[in-house]
Amino acid sequence: MADKKTPTQAAARVVTHLTVQERVDRGKAARTGCSRSSHAAWNPTADRPDPIDLLEAQATTRIPELVPIRYGRMLVSPFAFYRGAAAIMASDLSTMPNTGLYVQLCGDAHLSNFGGFASPERELILDVNDFDETLPGPWEWDVKRLAASIVIAGRERGFEAKTLRSLVLDTVGEYHRSMQEFAALGNLDLWYLHLDLAGIQERLGKKVKPKAIKALDKDLAHASHRDNHRALEKHTRRVDGQIRIAPNPPLVIPIEDLLQDKEGDQIEEIVRGLLRKYRSSLRGDIQHLLEGYRYVHLARKVVGVGSVGTRAWIVLLLGRDEEDPLILQVKEAGASVLEPYLGKSAYANNGRRVVEGQRLMQSSSDIFLGWERVAAGLDSQSHDFYVRQLWDWKISANVETMEPDEMMDYGKMCAWTLARAHARTGDRVAISAYLGTSDLTHKALAEFAVAYADQNDRDYQALVAAVESGRIKAEMGI
């Protein structure tokens, strides 16, 4: 009797290995359909979608009572609006010529989406730190979003137009120089690269102002205290002798305050079940580590600007004793705002899309980073989630207080980091060849950044008008 055949697995992906020269030729050929100077143009199409329509479409899948908080946070300033407007810019970028040279995109690569966190080796490193919109796409989409964010943030700081242009030129120039450097590296040498304080000083040397290094050094020292113990102090209190997550409505609401009786019990059991199943997305040794922690408490948390309204929870776990906390964030992952223009993710679970993109782009990722799907909650809908530590030495730069020199140095750090992430995930030789040896792309992107900052101002005013007319509701100061 013949042996039974095992079910056919998906065919292994066939990878074509081009020579270095073929990769160079590929990069130069991309200039035919998308010249380097073409990146300068930003001309809204006649049928450009209403930006408020795009924001309202996102709101349909979010928690209704939290959506006004999102709009309120976006109303704070044009830069705050930009942080929440990734869907708008994705729509706009899709109307422009692109190089066709794909990398793993962050999808929301503005200045505030870079920062510091601890590696598993307990070394503080700087990297991209937001991947909710990650998806493969043309490298320049991330660079354009970063460049425009510099102009928008710089305008709020009162920087002159000449200064803003210089900042963008320096940032894009750093991306270009870094990509050329990475194109010459071996695969493993590139893979192991990361950026810590010593690396910043070594790479940028005297070009980094002592004041900026001193400020960064202070931030890094502060970051080492932003760990699970500090999160325990900040986010918990004792109730009847038990440690519980402290309420801070509407930003943090413990499960028993959010939902009463059986409904609260049901959500709590759903999240506990998610955590049990999410372990399978972790490495075996980390699964073992996580199993040493017991569930204690749950609360809903409002996070970020663009993410406000998505389902997000913080979960308190304890290990050896009450002095051994682990606080996890369980955050909903919807479809990337890039999907309508770049196609669906290869992953059916959007939580996995976020996690896999993060692991690809970051030099080192949170050991507890994983994903799971909740088949049905109280709303009878399935939702994808990813899980990570709430704090693990996490810091973000205060863009709103930067002086020009500080923003220049910070922009270069972001550009180096973004170039390394793109070089890891795309054809760095082809991208370097496309950029070439001239500054054509630098100048073009500097023009684009100013033009798109103007567009962002108009879109911000559209949000202001929508609130004033009563079309949408916003809650400020939260």
Q: What is the pLDDT of residues 361-382, one digit of tens each?
A: 998 889 999 999 998 666 778 9
Structure tokens, 469: 């007319």
Q: What's the confidence (pLDDT) of residue 10?
A: 45
Integer Cα distance of 338 and 342 in angstroms: 6
pLDDT surpasses 50 at 28: yes
- Of the chain, the percentage scoring pLDDT greater than 70 comes to 88
pLDDT surpasses 50 at 150: yes
pLDDT surpasses 60 at 7: no
Structure tokens, 317: 């776990």
Integer Cα distance of 289 and 274 in angstroms: 17
Structure tokens, 375: 């088949």
pLDDT digits over 427-463, tens only? Answer: 999 999 999 999 999 999 999 999 999 999 999 999 9
**In the chain, where are the structural domains located?**
20-224+400-468, 228-389
Nearest 5°: CA angle at 175, between 34 and 113?
105
Q: Which range is least confidently modeled, 113-122, 182-191, 209-218, 244-253?
A: 209-218
Q: Which range is least confidently modeled, 2-16, 334-348, 407-421?
A: 2-16
Q: Which range is least confidently modeled, 116-120, 183-187, 462-466?
A: 116-120
Residue bearing the bigger pLDDT, 36 or 241: 36
433, 27 in Cβ contact below 8 A? yes
Q: What's the confidence (pLDDT) of residue 80?
A: 97
pLDDT surpasses 70 at 206: no
474, 65 in Cβ contact below 8 A? no
User: What is the residue whose two structure tokens read 């959007």?
Assistant: 350
Q: Give the mean pLDDT of the chain.
A: 90
Nearest 5°: CA angle at 71, between 67 and 72?
110
Cβ burial of 3 (10 Å; 0-12, 13-18, 19+) is exposed
Give the CA distances from residue 365 to residues 126, 209, 267, 274, 343, in Å, rounded to whole numbers and listed in that order.
Answer: 11, 29, 28, 21, 26
Q: What's the confidence (pLDDT) of residue 11?
A: 54
Specify the pTM.
0.92
- Which of these, 124, 116, 111, lies nearest to 395 by C-alpha position? 116
| Percent of residues in the chain assigned helix, strand, coil, to nearest 5 | 50, 15, 35
What number is the average pLDDT over the span 88-97?
Answer: 97
Q: What's the confidence (pLDDT) of residue 342?
A: 98
What number is the average pLDDT over the span 316-330?
Answer: 94
